[in-house]
Amino acid sequence: MSERIRILAVDDSQSTLEVLKRNLESNGYEVFTALRVAEALSLLDSLDIDLVITDYRMPQATGLDLIRHVRDNYPDTEIMMITGYPSIPGAVEAIKDGAGEYLPKPFTAEELLTVVERIVQRLLQRRVLGSPDTPPDNFGIIGNSPEMDLVFQRIGKASSTDANVLISGDSGTGKELVARAVHYNSDRRSAPFVPVNCTAIPDSLLESELFGHVKGAFTGAKDARAGFFEIAAGGSIFLDEIGDASPNMQAKLLRVIQSKEYCKVGSSHVHTVDTRIIAATHKDLKRLVAEGSFREDLFYRINVVDIAVPSLNERGDDILVLISHFMGKFAEAMNRAVPSLTDEALQAFRHYSWPGNVRELENLVQRLVVIVDHDPIEITDLPESMRFILSSEGGVDRSLADVEKEHISNVLAMTRNNKTRAAEILGINRKTLREKLKRMGLE
């Protein structure tokens, strides 16, 4: 990040403040502390604070009072609640009043940093998306191909309505990024965006995870718990990989979408749902419906607005824009100059199949920026699976001689013209390679 994240820690315990300050500053954050809410308000007035970490119970004004003040007056500031008196009602109240995260004491340094890093990622993503009132071009998503223009048009339409949204696309294409763009550019932007992995919830915990439970609802329910729909009240719930949802989960989701009501496990009290459904899948749901493995009635409930995210190979020169973006991002994080790519390496990037799509591209660029210590990045620095990618620009109507010539040229480039190593890779001896090079005019 170009600027240090500023954190304000508020707690009536000096020792807690010292622990927070020591752990956070050692990880690159700029930390300010306050023993009272009044002192915190003064610091908020004089400093641009990115994240407020506040205790729950304090003398005079409480942490909830501070949360409400921050949310009303500093809408771009993230909030995290910590407390030595953990309670589910307190957590729900804190979240509803604007706290993005809730962490009970005692907590380890690792637990603290994990939550703070998650908040910071959310903060930086919101900054990328820009002000909710003046959304940036393309909703902060990198790409300017005609295929992505269609995605941006659908995001705009979906953001202006409260209809349920189904996002489809291969793994790694950025479906959650599209879902967040829909949420943070809608009227629900100030309420929570709650992601739910439909494959990660076992049927035995399904109702409890989705709708919550009361204390004593079942063996092991020592405390009450808020479900995903309660936490997402007023906002959006993102059902990731809904195509993998079990039949039981499909039935529960259909019922809550239809009735707009639910009960917690162990309670007969009816809660009203005010949550937008944004679902995503890498599977063909129409085919699953035809096969009988996905409910047709649920499909039509979630597929009001559909957004199809193209694969990276369908996005043309967007890959060049993305490479430039990721190179700059990771080079800045490492405080180094942005590296360049040789023509051969760039060609390999351009013609690789990218089965992992944008996620694979981002991970590879990060690896190259971290590991490669010379400039430019060469084709020999790339994974072996990318080194022998032949250009497809010539189509399939080329002669065998043309294909052979291009392949030998690529191998020579990869080996930096080491003919002995090239001959080994090609499975021929050095004399045969010399003869081929002479015949092809490559000597």
Q: Output 346 or 395, whichever has higher pLDDT.
A: 346
Whether 304 maps to a domain, the answer reads yes
Output 100 or 92, whichever has higher pLDDT: 100
Q: Which amino acid is at 405?
A: K
Q: What's the domain range around 19?
A: 6-128
In sign, the C-alpha dihedral spanning 88, 90, 93, 97 is: negative
Cβ-in-10-Å burial (0-12, 13-18, 19+) of 314 comes to middle
pLDDT for the residue 89: 53
**Residues 159 and 300: beta-carbon distance below 8 Å:** no
Q: How many domains does the chain fold into?
A: 3
CB 420 within 8 A of CB 430: yes
Q: For residue 358, with 0-12 CB atoms within 10 Å meaning exposed, 13-18 middle and 19 or more buried, which class applies?
A: buried
Q: What is the pLDDT of residue 186?
A: 94
Question: Based on the domain organization, do 305 and 170 belong to the same domain?
Answer: yes
pLDDT, mean over the chain:
84
276 vs 269, which has greater pLDDT?
276
The rounded distance, in Å, linking the Cα atoms of 156 and 179 is: 12
What confidence category does residue 148 fall into, taking pLDDT thresholds of 50, 70 and 90?
very high
Give me the pLDDT at residue 176, please. Answer: 94
Do residues 185 and 300 share a domain?
yes
Decide if pLDDT at 98 tops 70: no
At 334, give phi and psi (nearest 5°): -95, 0
Query: Residue 212 corresponds to which tokens in the numbers above?
Result: 């919550």
Whether 301 and 184 map to the same domain: the answer is yes
**What's the mean pLDDT in 413-427?**
79
How many whole angstroms separate alpha carbon 210 and alpha carbon 286? 25
C-alpha 49/C-alpha 74 separation (Å) is 9
Q: Does 319 share its domain with 294?
A: no
How far is C-alpha 140 from the chain's CA centre? 13
The pLDDT of residue 85 is above 70:
no
pLDDT at 271: 86
Read off the pLDDT of residues 51-78 as tens digits, 9 standing for 90 and up: 999 887 787 777 788 888 888 898 888 8
Residues 305 and 346 in one domain: no
Peptide bond into 376 cis (omega under 30): yes
- Give the type of residue at 375: D
CA dist 431 to 404, 411, 417, 438, Å? 17, 16, 15, 11
Categorize the per-residue pLDDT at 330 as very low, low, confident or very high, splitting at 50, 70 and 90. very high
Residue with tokens 């694969």: 311
In this prediction, residue 434 carries a pLDDT of 86
152 with 225, same domain: the answer is yes
**Residues in Cβ contact with 336 at an 8 Å cutoff, skipping those fewer than 6 apart:** 369
Q: Is the pLDDT of residue 391 over 50?
A: no
In a domain, 1, yes or no: no
- Which pLDDT band, with edges at 50, 70 and 90, does 1 fall under? very low
- Mark whether 154 and 287 lie in a shared domain: yes
Last residue in a domain, options 310, 325, 344:
310
Residue 10 tokens read as 């508020």
pLDDT-derived band at 423, boundaries 50, 70, 90? confident
* Count of other CB atoms within 10 angstroms of residue 338: 13
> Could you tell me which residues come within 8 angstroms of residue 269 by beta carbon, excluding any fewer than 6 positions away?
263
Q: Is the pLDDT of residue 341 over 50?
A: yes
Q: What is the CATH number of the domain that holds 350?
A: 1.10.8.60
pLDDT digits (tens, 9 = 90+) for 110-136: 889 988 987 887 676 555 433 333 334
pLDDT for residue 8 is more than 90: yes
